[in-house]
Amino acid sequence: MADYKLKLRRFDPESGNAAYWADFDVELPPERSVLDGILQVKDREDASIGIRCSCRAAICGSCGVRINGKSALACNTRIGDAAERGRDGVITVEPMGNMPVIKDLITDMEAVHWKKIRRVVPWLLPKEEAPEGREYIVPAEAMLDVTQAMACIQCGACVSACLSMEVDPEFIGPAALAKAYRFVGDPRDGAHEERLADLAADEHGMYDCTHCFACIEVCPKEVAPMSQIMRLRRKATGDYGIKDDNNGYGHEKAFVGLIEKYGTLHEAQLLPRSFGQGSLIRGQTEPKAVKQLVESLPTGVRGLRTGKITPRKALLHPKLPDQKQVRRIFKEIHSHDERLELNLYIVGENPADEEGATAEGSQES
Amino acid sequence: MPQHDVLVIGAGLAGQRAALAAAEGGASVAIISKVHPVRSHSNAAQGGINAALDPQDTWESHAFDTVKGSDYLGDQDAIEIMCREAPEELLELEHWGVTFHRNEEGRLGKRAFGGASAARTYYVADITGQAILHVLYEQLMKHEEVYRYEEWFTTALVQDDDGRIAGAVTRNIRDGALELFSARAVILATGGNGQICDPTTNALICTGDGIAMAYRVGAPLMDMEMIQYHPTTLAGLGLLITEGARGEGAQLYNAQGERFMEKYAPNKMELASRDVVSRAEQTEINEGRGFPDGTVALDVTVVPRKRIHEALREIVNVGRDFAGVDITKEPIHIKPGNHYVMGGVRTDIHGQTSIPGLYAAGECACVSVHGGNRLGANSLLDTLVFGRRSGAHAAHAIKGLPSPHPSRESLLREQEMIQEIISRDRTGRRVSEIKAELGATMDKYVAVFRDKDGLNTALEIVRRLKEEAQTVAVDDRGSVFNQDVLGALELQFMLDNAEAVVVSAIERKESRGAQFRTDFPSRNDEEWLKHINLTRNGGADPEVSYSEVTMTRWEPEERKY
């Protein structure tokens, strides 16, 4: 048993008062959860504290909150760990971000999270009529692959932590895009290309993700939403060649091309190549890209002013000394006919653990 | 007043499946749930769903295993229906998009489970319930014509003057408004009552609401003494470790390193039925061969690493997050824990209760397909088959019925009742105190081993708690998300459930399935091969009656695994 200090963000919509912090002391073994702490306060001191919770085992997805500022499920965050990370040992618990607060730690998930989920047409659009008297026959790996997205419990932690959504509240967001991958990766679905084209064309769609990894970090079920978003992008560009007005396609091509050529990112070339088809200096940029380039100018000017960009660096980007190694990686990747998409259900968390694991398949009788 | 043909209360697998079937049957449907549908406890079903889909397997074999597992208390007509319809139900789910595990040929892959004579459990890693629940919700979102009332708490069922069901009174949790819903048929799919016991594998929402509401309007409850203790739960917290672990080969050991199931079930070993394994563990623990924390050990390390990653990921997480144990490297301490109620609101094979227009499906119902002991991976099947049957039957049965007339009096009565709770003086005990005492009482006296004295003590305590619950104190006086007042209502539901469980357990003077009476240690088919029914009798003790077990083709035999 140890004593912990909980600082809970409280808000009573009926009081007319603003949200405030309330301090409570709880007594629990360190391996118990922050949720257990909150429930102890509710049980012993004040049962009016609002928090959704049910399973206590990180499967129902009810108790998404922010603990010491970080989105998480209260039920699978150990109270001892939270105290170590909290300032002066005090554990702060707030409602999730990016969603309106209804009361105390309860957010309006319907208004944000579920609305975005419904945006991605979240049901199977079967490719063909269901076979009579049997299942669809699909590769075992494909089912394992989408199982990672299927493991999502819709807790909203990723939505809460999403930095892109903070800037663009209309962003479809990590949870809904992971849900989209659950269909795009499912061989039984017949609308892969339409789904991808739709998500690519939407200016709040899959190219709105800025690769910040926040969703991967906070996801309690290791769904890795950002990885699912990257898979959507790879499928859109690699499998279907979907060219979109958001320049997602051009940006990816430019990025990969520059790395292959230079080994590091030639930033001065990235924008023109993303918007157009080729080098700015050689005048290969398409006219329609000029407008977007002009709009990006202030960013460049700021870079010059702060010294982040220098004319020398911008024009003469050096290749990596051992650029051949980078080329070799590209060659290795290109030599595979298929893209390898590995997820947790296939490799586990730590592939190094695999030594000694047998390659035995499922034990069918 | 919201009006619908069919009102489904509860949105786990049974409720969602019922709603979809009723909508398909042409009825206007609403589904009400006190939590968002994907928060429902069906999520927790890890291992899988049984179906004799393989041409080598037969539904008769599945049905026999189920009958034997039930210790011959299951109704064989209902079991036959469930097992016969299982393959079709499973394929329907697959066609809707459930990401079932595949074998090398891309066909559905299966795993072994307890009490089964063949491997017939189909699964999605160890998140089967979650995967099915979320896919059903996908279908529900697709069917916009099904009204969803998410986060609405139903307080009471409402009948017409002639006793026919007419609707329900429900509180919008979001703003506290109480609504009278009118419906021609109501399907209860509110799940189990595990919260009456502490610890339990059940979620905090599993408070037996539907069982209590049906009981209060006069529907008989059946087999309520039959409460399953799952063999592998974490000590203290009660969290579940799937039977799928043992299905994949995991083994049980006592503190002396003995694989003790050799003594109790030499053929099926760890995959004997759950009542048998739980009793074996509890015997080892009681006789001093367990660990000091009152547990035995489950060794998952014998399962190949690759198999653990693809099939048992969730319990790796549970072990790591909630017990600090890496189950891929060391055994984990487990014990039997409250898990499932085989009993519930008595229904026929269409889900109809004795109240006209009132149906029940899933864990809150007792058809009975599980009898004295449910087989692992039969619960998902039960929810889906009888959820669908209830929805389809209700949609058909209401055609041509006159409009119901739920009286506003029922609404006013509920309103006053809630107002009284909110405004009463805070002199009584706290909800949490009464709940904790109830949980400890059930765990002590109404668990794996029971006897007359213990059960009588439990009944006394439960009845005292019922009194105390009448004046329970609440802190929250608000309207928005007043979880405190809902807790007070749930407490009363739980106490009705607990009383029914204890009264039935006292009544059954034999040992069968999950009920083991140390004072009556054998099964007694002559006197007790029958269901115990409880009916509410005003404020007095529940009225006990009996009903026949339906036998079709399997005569009772001695049960060996």
pLDDT tens by residue, A220-279: 999 999 999 999 999 999 899 998 888 888 888 888 888 888 888 887 788 777 776 555
In this structure, the number of other CB atoms found within 10 A of the CB of residue B299 comes to 18
Instruction: Give the C-alpha separation, B273 to B267, whole Å.
Output: 12
Q: Residue B43: which of A52, A59, A363 has the nearest Cβ?
A: A59
Contact A54 B204 (CB under 8 A): yes
Residue B225, pLDDT > 50, answer yes
Phi, psi of A177, rounded to the nearest 5 degrees? -70, -35
Contact B304 A47 (CB under 8 A): no
Identify the CA nearest to B168 among candidates B178, B152, B153, B181: B181
Q: Residue B130: which of A59, A122, A135 has the nearest Cβ?
A: A59
Q: Which residues on chain B are in Cβ contact (under 8 Å) with A48? A: 475-478, 482, 484
List of residues 6+ apart from A1 with CB closer than 8 A: A27, A28, A29
Distances from the Cα of B153 to the Cαs of A102, B424, B500, in angstroms? 17, 21, 23
Identify the CA nearest to B528 among candidates B199, B223, B169: B223
Identify the CA nearest to B541 among candidates B491, B503, B508, B505: B503
Is the omega angle on the peptide bond into residue B199 within 30 degrees of 0, that is, cis?
yes
| From A310-314, B431-435, B463-467, B508-512, the region with the lowest mean pLDDT | A310-314
Q: Which residues on chain B are in Cβ contact (under 8 Å) with A147? A: 99, 124-125, 127, 131
Q: Which of B35, B36, B135 to mutate to test the interface with A (most CBs of A within 10 A)?
A: B36
Q: Residue B484: which of A47, A109, A118 has the nearest Cβ?
A: A47
Residue A281, pLDDT > 80, answer no
Mean of per-residue pLDDT scores for chain A: 88
**Å between B46 CA and nearest CA of chain A:** 10
Instruction: Give the C-alpha separation, B260 to B468, whole Å.
Output: 44
Paired sense of beta strands B29-33 and A20-28, if any: unpaired
Identify the CA nearest to B234 among candidates B130, B341, B328, B319: B319
Instruction: Give the C-alpha separation, B259 to B251, whole Å.
Output: 7
**Both structure tokens of A296:** 């990006």
Contact A151 B310 (CB under 8 A): no
Instruction: Give the C-alpha separation, B4 to B406, whole Å.
Output: 12
Identify the CA nearest to A170 among candidates A122, A124, A204: A204
Q: Which residues on chain B are in Cβ contact (under 8 Å) with A24? A: none
Contact A47 B432 (CB under 8 A): yes
**Å between A184 CA and nearest CA of chain B:** 12
**Å between A47 CA and nearest CA of chain B:** 6
Distances from the Cα of A23 to the Cαs of A33, A36, A41, A45, A210, in angstroms? 17, 16, 10, 11, 36
Q: Which residues on chain A are in Cβ contact (under 8 Å) with B481? A: 50, 102-104, 106
Contact B102 A140 (CB under 8 A): yes
Which residue of chain A has the CA closest to B320?
A76
The ipTM assigned to this model is 0.96
Mapped onto helix, strand or coil, the DSSP state of residue B488 is helix
Contact B431 A54 (CB under 8 A): no
Contact B142 A103 (CB under 8 A): no
Q: Which of A143, A195, A358 to mutate to test the interface with B (most CBs of B within 10 A)?
A: A143
Paired sense of beta strands A106-107 and A101-103, if any: antiparallel
Q: Which residues on chain B are in Cβ contact (under 8 Å) with A346? A: 309-310
The counts of H helices and E strands in chain B are 16, 21
Q: Which of B35, B39, B139 to mutate to test the interface with A (most CBs of A within 10 A)?
A: B39
pLDDT of A357 reads 36
B274 classed as catalytic: yes
**Å between B300 CA and nearest CA of chain A:** 14
Mapped onto helix, strand or coil, the DSSP state of residue B82 is helix
The pLDDT confidence band at residue B91, using thresholds 50, 70 and 90, is very high
Mean local confidence (pLDDT), B521-526: 97
Contact B203 A42 (CB under 8 A): no
**Å between B24 CA and nearest CA of chain A:** 17
pLDDT of B220 reads 98
Provide the b/e sequence for A284-318 (b: ≥16 CB within 10 Å): ebeeebeebbeeeeeebeebeeeeebeeeeeeebe
Residue A364, pLDDT > 60, answer no
Residue B327, pLDDT > 50, answer yes
Residue B195, pLDDT > 80, answer yes
List of residues 6+ apart from B512 with CB closer than 8 A: B71, B72, B73, B372, B523, B528
Instruction: Give the C-alpha separation, B192 to B198, whole Å.
Output: 14
**The whole model's pTM is what?**
0.94
Instruction: Give the C-alpha separation, A328 to A265, whole Å.
Output: 17
Specify whether the CB–CB gap between A275 and A247 falls below 8 A.
yes
- Look at chain B and count its residues: 561
Q: Which residues on chain A are in Cβ contact (under 8 Å) with B130? A: 59, 150-151, 153
pLDDT tens by residue, B122-150: 999 889 999 999 999 999 999 999 999 99
Contact B43 A76 (CB under 8 A): no
Mapped onto helix, strand or coil, the DSSP state of residue B455 is helix
Contact B480 A154 (CB under 8 A): no
User: Maximum Cα–Cα distance for chain A, whole Å?
Assistant: 73
Tell me which residue has tokens 């990816």.
A252
Of residues B17, B246, B274, B389, which has the active-site annotation? B274
Helix (H) or strand (E) holding B440: helix B431-445
Specify whether the CB–CB gap between A104 and A82 falls below 8 A.
no
Specify whether the CB–CB gap between B32 and B7 falls below 8 A.
yes
Q: Which residues on chain B are in Cβ contact (under 8 Å) with A364? A: 103, 109-110, 119
Phi, psi of A70, rounded to the nearest 5 degrees? -105, 130
Q: Residue A123: which of B40, B100, B142 has the nearest Cβ?
A: B142
pLDDT of B322 reads 86
pLDDT tens by residue, A143-193: 999 999 999 999 999 999 999 999 999 999 999 999 999 999 999 999 999
Contact A102 B96 (CB under 8 A): no
pLDDT of B442 reads 98
Specify whether the CB–CB gap between A298 and A309 falls below 8 A.
no
HEC string of chain A equals CEEEEEEEEECCCCCCCCCEEEEEEEEECCCCEHHHHHHHHHHHCCCCCCCCCCCCCCCCCCCEEEECCEEEEHHHCEHHHHHHHCHHHEEEEECCCCCCEEECCEECCHHHHHHHHHHCCCCCCECCCCCCCCCCCCCHHHHHHHHHHHCCCCCCHHHHHCHHHHHCCCCCCHHHHHHHHHHHCCCCECCHHHHHHHHHHCCCCHHHCCCCCHHHHHCCCCCCHHHHHHHHHHHHHHHCCCCCCCCHHHHHHHHHHHHHHHCCCCHHHHHHHHHCCCCCCCCCCCHHHHHHHHHHHHHHHHHHHHCCCCHHHHHCCCCCCCHHHHHHHHHHHHCCCCCCCCCHHHHCCCHHHHCCCCCCCCCCC
Which residue of chain B has the CA closest to A346?
B310
Mean local confidence (pLDDT), B331-343: 97
Which residue of chain A has the CA closest to B46?
A59
Mean of per-residue pLDDT scores for chain B: 96
Mean local confidence (pLDDT), B418-435: 96
Which one-letter amino acid corresponds to residue B500?
A
pLDDT of A209 reads 95
Which one-letter amino acid corresponds to residue B213?
M
pLDDT of A325 reads 87
Q: Which residues on chain A are in Cβ contact (under 8 Å) with B97? A: 123-124, 183, 186, 188-189
Q: Which residues on chain B are in Cβ contact (under 8 Å) with A60? A: 35, 38-41, 43-44, 203
Identify the CA nearest to B109 among candidates B48, B63, B45, B60: B48
Torsion angle of C-alpha atoms A155, A60, B135, B123, degrees rounded to 10: 130
Which residue of chain B has the CA closest to A222?
B317
Task: Name the residue with higher pLDDT: B63 or A340.
Answer: B63
- A-B contacts (CB, under 8 Å): 214
Bridge partners (DSSP) listed for residue B188: B9, B360
Specify whether the CB–CB gap between B17 and B349 falls below 8 A.
no
Torsion angle of C-alpha atoms A167, A171, A175, A178, degrees rounded to 10: -120
- DSSP one-letter string for B218-233: TPPEESTT-EEEEEEE
Contact A62 B318 (CB under 8 A): no
pLDDT tens by residue, A35-53: 999 999 999 999 999 999 9
Tell me which residue has tokens 């499998």.
A239
Phi, psi of B502, rounded to the nearest 5 degrees? -70, -45
Contact A103 B480 (CB under 8 A): yes
Q: Residue A47: which of B131, B318, B431 has the nearest Cβ?
A: B431
Q: Residue A14: which of B150, B205, B480 has the nearest Cβ?
A: B480
pLDDT of B394 reads 98
Identify the CA nearest to A95 among candidates A62, A117, A118: A62
Q: At what angle do helices B13-24 and B379-397 cross, to 10 degrees?
A: 30
Q: Residue A118: which of B127, B141, B474 has the nearest Cβ?
A: B141
| From A201-210, A257-266, B264-273, B327-336, the region with the lowest mean pLDDT | A257-266
Helix (H) or strand (E) holding B447: none
Residue B351, pLDDT > 60, answer yes
Instruction: Give the C-alpha separation, B136 to B37, whole Å.
Output: 10
pLDDT of A261 reads 86
pLDDT of A277 reads 58
Residue A338, pLDDT > 80, answer no
Q: Residue A344: which of B130, B313, B476 has the nearest Cβ?
A: B313
List of residues 6+ apart from A64 with CB closer than 8 A: A71, A72, A73, A74, A96, A107, A155, A156, A157, A160
Instruction: Give the C-alpha separation, A221 to B489, whole Å.
Output: 33
Q: Which residues on chain B are in Cβ contact (under 8 Å) with A13? A: 480
Contact A13 B480 (CB under 8 A): yes
Contact B310 A144 (CB under 8 A): yes
- DSSP one-letter string for B357-420: TEEE-GGGEE-SSSTTSPPTTSHHHHHHHHHHHHHHHHHHHTTTPPPP---HHHHHHHHHHHHH
Identify the CA nearest to B221 among candidates B263, B258, B192: B192
Indicate the burial class of A100 (C-beta count within 10 angstroms; 0-12, 13-18, 19 or more). exposed
Q: What percent of chain A has pLDDT over 70?
A: 89
Contact A102 B481 (CB under 8 A): yes
pLDDT of A361 reads 36
The pLDDT confidence band at residue A359, using thresholds 50, 70 and 90, is very low
| From A332-346, B12-26, B35-49, B308-322, the region with the lowest mean pLDDT | A332-346
Specify whether the CB–CB gap between B44 and B203 falls below 8 A.
yes
Which residue of chain B has the CA closest to A11?
B480
Instruction: Give the C-alpha separation, A268 to B57, whole Å.
Output: 66
Instruction: Give the C-alpha separation, B323 to B473, whole Å.
Output: 34
Instruction: Give the C-alpha separation, B344 to B193, whole Å.
Output: 9
pLDDT of B538 reads 81
Instruction: Give the C-alpha separation, B88 to A131, whole Å.
Output: 12
List of residues 6+ apart from B106 with CB closer than 8 A: A137, A138, A139, A140
**Both structure tokens of A54:** 């049910």
Contact B481 A354 (CB under 8 A): no
Q: Residue A130: which of B95, B105, B237 has the nearest Cβ?
A: B95
